[in-house]
Amino acid sequence: MHLILIGPPGSGKGTQAKKIAKEFHLDHISTGDLLRNNPDLTKEQKELLNSGKLIPDMMMLDIVKARLNKCHGRGWILDGYPRTIAQAHLLENALEDGTVKVLYFTLDTKELVDRITGRLSCPACGSVFHKITRPPKKDNLCDNCGEPLIHRKDDTEEVIKKRLDTYFTYTDPVVKYYQDKNRFYNIACGNKHSIDEIFETIKDKL
Ligand code: AMP
Ligand 1 pocket test, candidate residues 31, 113, 127, most atoms within 8 A of CB: 31
- pLDDT of amino acid 41: 93
Q: Is the pLDDT of residue 98 over 80?
A: no
* 173-201 pLDDT tens trace: 999 999 988 799 999 999 999 999 999 99
Distance 165 CA to ligand 1 centre (A): 13
Mean pLDDT within 113-121: 92
- pLDDT of amino acid 103: 97
Residue 185, classed as helix, strand or coil, is strand
What is the rounded CA–CA span in Å between residue 14 and residue 193? 16
Q: What is the dihedral of CA 32, 33, 35, 37, to 10 degrees?
A: 160
What is the rounded CA–CA span in Å between residue 157 and residue 12? 18
- Residue 9 CA to chain centroid, in angstroms? 7
Q: In the chain, what is the greatest distance between 2 CA atoms, to the nearest angstrom?
A: 46
Active-site residue identified among 18, 36, 83, 115: 83
Distances (CA, A) of 45 to 17, 40, 54, 194: 25, 10, 9, 35
Residue 77, classed as helix, strand or coil, is strand
Q: Is the pLDDT of residue 97 over 80?
A: no
CA angle 10, 13, 14 (to 5 degrees): 95
Q: Is the CB of 54 within 6 Å of ligand 1?
A: yes
